[in-house]
Chains A and B, each alone.
Chain A
Amino acid sequence: MKPPAFEYVAVASTEEAVAQLVAHGDDARILAGGQSLMPILNMRLATPGRLIDLNRVGALSYIVERAGGVAIGAMTRQRTAERSELISAAVPLLAEALPWVGHSAIRNRGTVGGSVVHADPAAELPGVAVCLDARFTVRGEAGERTLAAREFFRGYLTTALAPTELLTEVWFPSAPPGSGAAWIEFARRHGDYALVGVAAVVTLKGSTVRQASLAVIGVDGVPVRAVDAERLLIGVPLSAESMAAAAESVRRTLEPHDDIHATAAYRRHLAGILVVRALTRAGERARLP
């Protein structure tokens, strides 16, 4: 058998899951969609003593409108989110990024919460969350707390979750009127982890940018919010010059690493190109009536 031996418990509620985490601490792992954890177990990169399976917790699977945004239960399958009319109307950036997550057979099992908690720096959903300032609801022994996306991702595959805490919900704000969003990524094959991906949202008044939000994945241990580039864009018309300046700022501030897939220099170059493309597309969409 491929995975190491473990004890297995399929919990029926969030409370049971937290109780299991409290009782078993670091030795336990939450099993959500399994599309990241199962490969890790099959390759024996992790040897948890106990798996806490959330797949029978129906209460963690929902997509609802709430507080000017959309709340998504952590166990909602990526495929369900991809097909949600509510998400596609209210959070178009998320709707555009979801089909890029793995392959359809992966998204049929993979969950929104699982992808976020796995925190792969080249994964789409953490990038979208950082771009949109999504909020994460986390349940622990002492009750619930809410974390902003930018404080949730701490480093490569590392989040602010305590070993006894469980992610229960991700909330994304609805796109404001006059805004346009775009997700663009480059990978060798569709469904591979992106070499670089860019999320862009711009809100226009006339041709002037009132708000801009840019996040880049695949270039650091966490999704990077390009705050300097955003500052260059806000208050001026969205033009070839302003987009080039934003791209130059992104190239200058990123510090990607070489790996077997691409050199740091190539990733930096690609990030600049994708920033311009994403801003162009987001701008076009913001101008649509």
Chain B
Amino acid sequence: MKFLAPLLGVVIYLALQAAVAGRIAIGSIAPDFVVVCVVLFGLQRGSVQGSLFGFFVGFLVDLSNPGYLGLNALTKCLLGFAAGGLGAAASPGLLVLAIVFFVGALAHDFVYLLIYLWPGVGSALLTRALPSALYTAVAGVAVERILALLGAKVVTSFGKERQY
């Protein structure tokens, strides 16, 4: 069960990304549910599991874009590590959680676009990364709220590694 729940979560979030993200996109700006998934997992499980999980999920995403195999694995493992290492911050309200999602998505896209579009990364940060990070933050909070309403164990406090 310890490994089954994260695997099931990965499948659900990848399905959300593949089937829903495109449909709720505003223009070409879509939320990144995979980033939401990695951040939530990192917050729950800490740096070690967060980075391992991020690498695994990122590698799965890379399989669909094989010209850059390893890029998503790298960025999402960093994201999982950072989310897991937030430390003993104050207990999060929705605003703090939204900021975590926003900063996480922005930093993730910054590293991603820096490598992917090098050296022409300038405008993409403004036109793609920034609005996308905002959208991801909103989607992330919505997902967290829905999970909470369903009774799932979601982020209730930073700093302590939670177990299912």
Real binding pair? no
Q: Which residues of B contact A (CB under 8 A)?
A: none
- Residues of A in contact with B (beta carbons under 8 Å apart): none
